[in-house]
Structure 1
Amino acid sequence: MSDEFGIDLDDLPAELCEREQWVGWWVEERGGKETKVPVNAETGGFGSATDAVTWTDATTAVDAVESGEADGVGFVFTDDDPLVGVDLDDCRDPETGAVEEDARDIVERLDSYTEVSPSGTGFHVLVEGELPEGRNRRGSVECYETARFFTVTGDHVDATPTRIARRQDALRGIHREYVQPGDEDGATDDVAAAPVESSGDATPMSDVDLEDEELLEKAMAASNGGKFKRLWNGRFGGYDSQSEADMAFCCLLAFWTGGDQAQMDRLFRESGLLREKWDEVHYADGSAYGEKTIERAVQQTSEFYDPGTSQTADDVEADGQGAASRADRGEAYLREKNRVLADRVETLEATLEEKNDRIEELEATVERLKSELDAVEPETDTGTERGDESESSVWGRTKGWFESD
């Protein structure tokens, strides 16, 4: 891991370090974009912002980074803690450190622990409080308080406090002015009932900015609107299973939302296809069925809605039927995944070989010492019989110890 993500726990607020809500993360490429994927810092396996079994303490998470088991560390927000994270993207010049005025205003008003994001182009602000109801993101400002993980760098912004402050009034004002839009604003990112997890740096695959209602109108009025409407109403006749229909509908949602997984999740929950299975954990990495379905739908969708064209979901085969380009992308992803795993195996094998060599050296040393001990005659002494017996006894015990090996 590069030094830029090196973390000293002494530099982090105690409010974070005292909680066992930490994960590691790997950078992986998905759909042509880098994504931070949570890692179980204790096992090196998959982590999840919704599965506490995969979380650990801060020290273990940092150790995983230092040992190469993760690229960085993250803190998971839950309903049981009073923390809220405010993520400010694309507001800082990593070369000059220049900060955009809106971001400066938010940081100054929140007046709490703030650090530079892993990319160096934004800030993460941590406060105590409760996130107001309504949307959680508009433009480059995003707020969240549960079922998400915040990448943590320890790169503290000098002019801000070193502790996490309670800032409910300031948080309410920031949310009202920068996040909660007026009627004329097209932001679409309400907090979902059970949000698809994200690292805080994830962005949609395409810059589509449609309100849910407007999106539904456009989707149902498109040339394939009949199919969208049938799936929206929970009718999946013509598909071999409802799971296949779920994937087809998620691919349609991926097209119309620009790959915005939070909006996809929210819309699916309003459709007639929603069932209990959506939130059930079905995968070894702790992912729920719905999470993985959305993730795969985004990976399989090669193009997204462009408001400037008359393009529809039919034009890009966004129905989950397996276009060749999707298969190629899936194969590329698996190849990269296998490469990462192969690198880990190679590292472990090298470590094991070093340990075996060390064991052989120690065994050779023991044999040499045994030989030298056998060749040495016990020193005799003209002292008392008791002294002779004592010396002989010590010698016998020492020699017996080596021979017992």
Structure 2
Amino acid sequence: MVRKAEGKPRHARLSGQNQLARGIPKLSRNKFVLNLSGLVAYPRVFQNGLTQSVPLTMQPYRQFVVWRLEYRNGNPKATKVPYDPKTGIRASSTDPTTWGYLSDAQQRMEQGGYTGIGFVFAEDDPFCFLDFDDCIDDTGNWIDGTSLWKLFEGSAWEISQSGNGFHVIVTTRDKAALSRHVNKWRRPDGGMNECYGSGRFVAFGPHGWQGEPQPADTMLQCFVPLRSRGGADPLEWRDRAIDGYDGPSDDDTLLRRMLNSRGGAATIFKTAAPFRALWEGDTVELSKFHPDASGKGKPFDHSSADMALMNHLAWWTGCDHARMWRLFKRSSLYRPEKERTALRALDKAASEKAARGSYLKSREQRMKEAGAIGEGERLELITPKMTLDEMSEKLVFIRHGNGVADRTRRTAQKMESARTDYSASKHEIETGKIDKETGLPVLKTVSTFETWRQSEKLTVDQLTWQPGEDQFCKPLEEHGIAFNTYRPLLLGAAPKNWKEWINPFVSLVEFLVPMEAERNRFYQWLAHIIQRPFELPHTCYLFFTPAHGTGRGTLAEMLARVFKGYAAIGVAPDMAITDGFNGRLSRKLIATVDEVREGARNPHSKEAQAFKSRVNESNRHINPKFGIQSVEKNCMRWLFFSQHEDALPFDNHDRRVIVIANPTKANSPEWYSWLHQYLEGGAIEQAFVASVQQYLASFDLTGFNPGAHAPMNEAKRRAIAAMESEALRAARQFAATWGEGLATTADLRAFVGDDDWPSHSRGASDLIKAAGMMAGKKVTIDRKAEKLLIVNPNGFPPDFVQGWPVHEIAAIIRRGRQSFGNS
């Protein structure tokens, strides 16, 4: 049972810069009082409107990063992700080349876009980091278990970023001694403690550091538990791969695949070291990618290389601990005297990769992840507190729908939801009464949001989504002013050699679209999304091939990342073809649809016609279940994938669908492995995506006409032919061989045959229209009422035929029957 501290938490009453520490309670039961003195003595770094201190002892080290909170894979808990302060690319706690000086971090913070700064702990520095999580009980009091902090009283400490934990930094003369101890353990009260000397970074919180790191060798040995297995085995050892792994079970087969891989898995582990160089211990190559920073003259940093090779093995084996260790011991990097260090690298590599799996993920897994990426990560799950002035500046009242919009986040919600979300924002007002004892006005606390709601405020008539328009713009269909929630696509910072980074993307597109002219137009179609998102082309794309695994799913994965937040990946065919607009398609610039086979529908059916209009409809009416009604501009492009030629319902008069026949044979497994390495997160993925964005943003659109009709090519002719039913083929043959311009539907039905003739009148009408003929009025021929069929509408205009005498029409039909019968 968790024991609760007696009494209410007390808060320090500070002034000036020490206001930063407001909200940090004292631990009074164990008489360990947090010392708040000295806070202003340290240099400050701007962080989200606050400042944070940096212990003086740590400032000279080139081990600083910046970080921000990111939400990934649908996880409601934010992840603190480090970034290189020099380049802004994802940093690694094991790659010193991605760290910088404090001045680098300060400059990067001034540019915005990051939550705070951090510090990476390395084997050759004197610092050790202790992390105490879940230190607050349900009532908001510090729990009794945190009394262990007094063992390190006087050393550097801070409240963690979440406000629910506590960080301590001490110094140690022998980090190797900590290898006998665990890195993470659970306290009796249920909270978690952690201790690291290297391979970890601390994200500095907003409250500031107090004090300087002090020696604590003895305390660390007493405080941190020993490994229960003597330090030989990694925690939670597993002798199996993660679920979904279907790679080769034979080690030699897998090793050959790893050695022959183009580029290797290094691209996803924040290092460019090839697998072969790591496996063979190539001193020359490893000195380039893992240079020794110890000053001891070693050819390369062996620990860093071990970590890189373990990352490779985790990726290729599906995080199979036993197999990783078995293979590692066959490599040239294996050192029997350093088994403990290698095992720690194994444990870290497998745990980091287990959440994402390996390159052998199933297509279903990869497409699910691509769908989540395309939807975009939610940047904030917590509504920030605001003052009344901030609300007046940032919030907008929406009349139609009684909603509230946030100008900074470009979001909108119902008034009821906003009232709940902003309930934490409070301020004090005078009641009009005077305190008899003090003579001061009596104050009361009220809701800042309610005060804003009842005051003068920014007000619009409607909510909208219109790429290319200002935040406040005209509604699409009504008068007044609308609040525009559109935010431009966020483009990453491309590296200087971005033309080299785009090779996987270009290689894939060249493979899927073999003809250069067609490929150039497809590039323009994609580039147009970035360069002119507000201008919707009148065409969509259909990629078809009977082969499996050609790489169209990989293309969708790439597009999900390039158009992150604006891509609907893996949309169901019925949603795109028959169901019409769905909320998932709202505010998107591109959508991919898998496994389409709707060509069996008659091109003139109601569903087929609805699909055609959906490709370039102007506006969409949005009526979400829990949100605000709005009208958004349709700027979404469609990319359909199918294994069938008869994928979409169109005919030879179609003007919207561009058809591309993809290769009928997949490329080599190594080639796809090479492509997938650029989609596994980290700095490599960031550089790749930013490079593709740069490529499309600068692609020449000369000659691209968004209103142009889809061209007729051989692939489209094949698709049209595949969609023709036996009845349609017969009807076309009838029209081509009937000797006169008029007939009856009975004549056509007799030629088509009852087995193939549509069972419904609507189907018969669609068949006649698809064959280029038209049905007319009823006429009496040889005392029998029959429906007129205009075989040649160009030679016999319907309006003209309608006025003809019946006996003349009958004479033409008789001649046709006689001629057709003789032929």
Query: What TM-score do the two structures reach when normalised by structure 2?
Result: 0.28
Out of 55, 61, 78, the position equivalent to 2:99 is 55
Distance in 1 separating the partners of 2:367 and 2:214: 48
Give, in angstroms, the shift of residue 137 of structure 1: 1.4
Partner of 2:56: 14
Partner of 1:272: 327
Out of 147, 163, 174, the position equivalent to 2:212 is 163
> Which structure carries more strand by proportion?
2
Q: What is the aligned residue count?
A: 270
Partner of 1:136: 183
Counterparts of 1:191-270 in structure 2 under 5 Å?
211-212=236-237, 215-216=238-239, 219=240, 230=249, 234-236=251-253, 241=258, 246=313, 250-251=317-318, 253=320, 269-270=324-325
Give, in angstroms, the shift of residue 104 of structure 1: 2.5
> Which structure carries more helix by proportion?
1
The alignment-based identity, stated in percent, is: 22
Give SS of 2:136's match.
coil
Contact 1:250 1:293 in 2 (8 A): no
Give, in angstroms, the shift of residue 342 of structure 1: 3.6
Distance change >3 Å, CA 156–CA 94, structure 1 → 2: farther
Partner of 1:148: 200
Q: Deviations over 1:94-114 (max 9, x none)?
A: 983x22222221x11022111
Code of the residue aligned with 2:221 in structure 1: it is R
Unpaired segments ≥5 residues, structure 2: 1-44, 187-191, 266-311, 335-344, 380-486, 494-823
Counterparts of 1:9-48 in structure 2 under 5 Å?
11-33=53-75, 34-48=78-92
Distance in 2 separating the partners of 1:250 and 1:172: 35
Give, in angstroms, the shift of residue 39 of structure 1: 0.7
Partner of 1:343: 490
Distance in 2 separating the partners of 1:47 and 1:124: 21
Contact 1:25 1:36 in 2 (8 A): yes
Counterparts of 1:283-298 in structure 2 under 5 Å?
295=352, 297-298=354-355
Distance change >3 Å, CA 155–CA 238, structure 1 → 2: closer
Indicate the RMSD between aligned Cα atoms, in angstroms.
4.7
Give, in angstroms, the shift of residue 230 of structure 1: 4.6
Distance in 2 separating the partners of 1:276 and 1:41: 34
Give, in angstroms, the shift of residue 277 of structure 1: 10
Distance change >3 Å, CA 4–CA 113, structure 1 → 2: farther
Partner of 1:333: 373
1:100 lines up with 2:143 in the alignment: yes
Counterparts of 1:314-393 in structure 2 under 5 Å?
320-333=360-373, 336=376, 342-343=489-490
Distance in 1 separating the partners of 2:317 and 2:113: 33
Q: Quick check: which has more Rg, 1 or 2?
A: 2
Give SS of 1:61's match.
helix
Distance in 1 separating the partners of 2:144 and 2:324: 37
Out of 152, 164, 176, the position equivalent to 1:110 is 152
Contact 1:110 1:171 in 2 (8 A): no
Code of the residue aligned with 1:117 in structure 2: it is S
Contact 1:127 1:165 in 2 (8 A): yes
Out of 127, 134, 149, the position equivalent to 1:83 is 127
Partner of 1:180: 226
Give SS of 2:117's match.
strand
Unpaired segments ≥5 residues, structure 1: 193-209, 254-263, 280-287, 302-318, 347-405
Code of the residue aligned with 1:251 in structure 2: it is G
Code of the residue aligned with 1:165 in structure 2: it is Q
Distance in 2 separating the partners of 1:100 and 1:230: 49
Distance in 1 separating the partners of 2:127 and 2:349: 27
Contact 1:136 1:180 in 2 (8 A): no
Code of the residue aligned with 2:101 in structure 1: it is D
1:64 lines up with 2:108 in the alignment: yes
Contact 2:71 2:377 in 1 (8 A): no
Distance in 2 separating the partners of 1:5 and 1:133: 40
Q: Deviations over 1:98-133 (max 9, x none)?
A: 22222221x110221111111111111100014422
Give, in angstroms, the shift of residue 30 of structure 1: 3.0
Distance in 1 separating the partners of 2:117 and 2:329: 33
Contact 1:75 1:150 in 2 (8 A): yes
Give, in angstroms, the shift of residue 49 of structure 1: 1.9
Instruction: Work out which structure has the larger RCO, using CA pairs closer than 8 Å and 6 or more positions apart in sequence.
Output: 1
Distance change >3 Å, CA 155–CA 95, structure 1 → 2: farther
Distance change >3 Å, CA 292–CA 20, structure 1 → 2: same
Distance change >3 Å, CA 53–CA 228, structure 1 → 2: closer
Contact 2:72 2:377 in 1 (8 A): no
Distance in 1 separating the partners of 2:377 and 2:126: 36
Distance in 1 separating the partners of 2:214 and 2:170: 5
Contact 2:244 2:361 in 1 (8 A): no
Distance change >3 Å, CA 172–CA 331, structure 1 → 2: same
